[in-house]
Amino acid sequence: MHADNGIHDVIIIGAGPCGLGVAARLHEETPSAMFTDEEHQRYHWIKKHSGRMKLVQAGHGKINGARAEKWNRGQKCACEKEQDKERRGSTDSASSVPSLSSASSVSSDDSISTLVLDGSGDQWMQRWNNAFRTLEIKQLRSPMFFHVDPGDRDGMLAYTQEVGREEDLWEISGCVGKEMSKHKKKKRRQGGKAQTIGGVEIDERDRKDYFSPSTDLFADYCSSIIDRYGLNEPGLIQKQEVVDITYGYLPEDKDTPISNSKTFTVTTTTGQKFYSRAAVLAIGAGGAGVAKIFPWRPASEEEGASACCHSMEIKSFPSPNVRRKIQLRQETNVVVVGGGLSSAQIVDMAVRKGVTKVWFIMRSEMKVKHFDISLPWMGKYKNWEKAAFWSADTDEERLEMIKVARNGGSITPRYVKIVKDHAAHKRASIHPRTIITSHKYNPDAQTWALTTDPPIPNLPPIDFIYFATGARADVREMPLLNNINEQYPIEIKEGLPCLNNDLMWRDDIPLFMTGRMAGLRLGPGAPNLEGARLGAERIAWSLEEILEKKREVGDQCAVEGFCGLGNRYASLVDNGDE
């Protein structure tokens, strides 16, 4: 993963699920061998690679099927090839559960040099794990097939069974097993768009998928992916907050690496500069440059440990002033603003930590959903929804589909029950369709005086406010993209960039985006774990072509065939030998 002449092949900005998904995918040799056809949609971009893609068919009776040999820099010696053969051949098992430790053959050599920069730390998933730990969240909202493993769509289920941790699975009840109504079946046969009419779109055969993992199980599964692909190499991830990205020819300078093609220069808060041929922006909702949403912008003396904070900035819980009053057995009142799952989790934790009463204020009605996207995007007919999305004529149409499918913040049935139980015991007060119309902070008393519309009767002085109001993804408001926006402008729809189908900024700018920022190409599931895996798949397909053009032709620079693509026999062509 070391750079040649100081220039990396790829810099990944963000070490969360999206960044991990990309890094793992770049090291997976045979991703399509284990994906189902349903999950491995190519659609627009399969045509672009037709003719270059080599299909490998697994024959009956072969151990672990047929695999393509990864083409690395230089030639492997016979003993290395034999070791690879033994490693790949050791995966035969009588069990019907695939072994995650042998699900993919991963070479010890690196075909591309990679660097990961993240402002949270030098470990994968550090911000993600810290957030779940701080809010004491024990369960993911996602089903079992939402994960970042590029080797197996059912990898998390297989891992759970392999390590014997079925007790860490929570059934997502109420969304599996019901039949579609006759009206819906008729519309499906006629090609009409199915609506949820007295039934759901997930049938009984998929019940095994509709469990959600505990946070500990998911963290361990991610660790197994990191180990499998050798992504724990020292120095791979650096704790660096990126503040600027530029793309162009490097100036001739003694401190600047030599490059004959346009190169990315990534600058961090420390002033360090890193260089790469391609870049991947894989930052999530709490990443650098993502604007957090507030009902009003708190003053500097208000925002922080004593008065209020955004849910993405919680460092400890409860706040010091509230904790002190709880210890003194004094009355405490906390306001939580928001309508999503995070807001309900904060309400629950505040009650469990001893807050006298939590006032739960929502701008709209309380929306109850198992997932943050609607069920038609999750079940057996989701490819119909995806095809309709990808076939839309304009990005405006796609944006509207995203809005309809996500429909703002929502809370799972389990947490709705928890919050309502707290309300029944007078520990919480739920106020839908309510907004805060005025607010005044008293720094001496460390309390807020709030008024609302409609008025909340007998609303006492508030000790602390948590804003669980989400973040706004707008590439125009991200400081690290100021230069890219200015020099290489593209069309933007309500903050989302109109990327090409390979998730590149432009055809001539190999800046890739995944996660929330790729929503107009990946669909409503882009911010989810499923979006992380699908985004990584598209990026990996395009990176080979990009790096082929940028690197010199030669034994030490060949990249054809990395990440499961290309022709393993390409080196035998035009080499001067008969």
Q: Cα separations (Å) of 175 from 180, 199, 414, 527?
A: 12, 9, 13, 22
Task: Provide the residue-wise pLDDT of the chain in tens; the chain has 578 residues.
Answer: 566 678 999 999 999 999 999 999 999 877 754 344 444 444 444 545 555 554 443 333 333 332 333 323 333 444 444 444 343 333 333 333 333 333 333 333 457 899 999 999 999 999 999 989 988 999 999 888 889 999 888 889 899 999 999 999 988 776 665 443 333 343 333 343 333 333 445 555 566 667 889 999 999 999 999 999 999 999 999 999 999 999 999 888 767 887 778 999 999 999 999 999 999 999 876 665 577 889 988 887 777 667 999 998 898 899 999 999 999 999 999 999 999 999 999 999 999 999 999 999 999 999 998 888 877 777 656 777 888 888 888 999 999 999 998 888 899 999 999 999 999 999 999 999 999 999 999 988 999 999 999 999 999 999 999 999 988 888 998 999 999 999 999 999 999 999 999 999 999 999 999 999 999 999 998 999 989 999 999 999 888 788 876 654 333 444 444 455 554 445 455 544 44
CB-CB contact of 341 with 415 (8 Å): yes
The pTM for the full model equals 0.78
Sequence-separated (6 or more) residues with CB below 8 Å from residue 309: 303, 319, 466, 467
CA distance 399 to 404: 9
Q: What is the DSSP string of 179-196?
A: PPPHHHHHHHHTTPPP--
CATH for the stretch 292-372+409-470:
3.50.50.60
CA distance 471 to 127: 15
Q: Within 229-327, where are the H helices?
A: 320-327
If we measure between CA atoms, which residue out of 526, 543, 206 comes closest to residue 389? 526
Any idea where the domains of the chain sit in the sequence?
7-54+68-160+216-288+474-572, 163-212, 292-372+409-470
CA distance 442 to 444: 6
If we measure between CA atoms, which residue out of 15, 16, 54 comes closest to residue 528? 16
Strand partners, 359: 335, 429
Q: Which residue has the tokens 């960039």?
A: 497
Q: What is the DSSP string of 107-144?
A: -SS-SS-EEEEESS-SSTTHHHHHHHHHTT--B-SS-T
CB-CB contact of 10 with 279 (8 Å): yes
CB count in 10 Å sphere of residue 527: 23
If we measure between CA atoms, which residue out of 220, 241, 236, 277 comes closest to residue 27? 236
If we measure between CA atoms, which residue out of 407, 410, 408, 386 comes closest to residue 398? 386
CB-CB contact of 208 with 231 (8 Å): no
If we measure between CA atoms, which residue out of 439, 268, 236, 255 comes closest to residue 337? 439
- DSSP state for residue 531 in the 8-state scheme: H
The reported pLDDT for the residue numbered 386 is 80
The reported pLDDT for the residue numbered 190 is 38
CB-CB contact of 303 with 34 (8 Å): no
If we measure between CA atoms, which residue out of 73, 440, 483, 43 comes closest to residue 242? 483
CB count in 10 Å sphere of residue 251: 8
CA distance 317 to 135: 8
Tell me the pairing of strands 211-213 and 357-361: unpaired
Phi, psi of 16 (to 5 degrees): -85, -160
Phi, psi of 310 (to 5 degrees): -80, 150
CB-CB contact of 445 with 461 (8 Å): yes
CA distance 349 to 373: 25
User: 7-54+68-160+216-288+474-572 with 292-372+409-470: one CATH topology?
Assistant: yes
CATH fold of 7-54+68-160+216-288+474-572 reads FAD/NAD(P)-binding domain (3.50.50)
Residue 160 three-state SS: helix
CA distance 119 to 184: 48
Cis peptide before 454 (omega within 30 of 0): yes
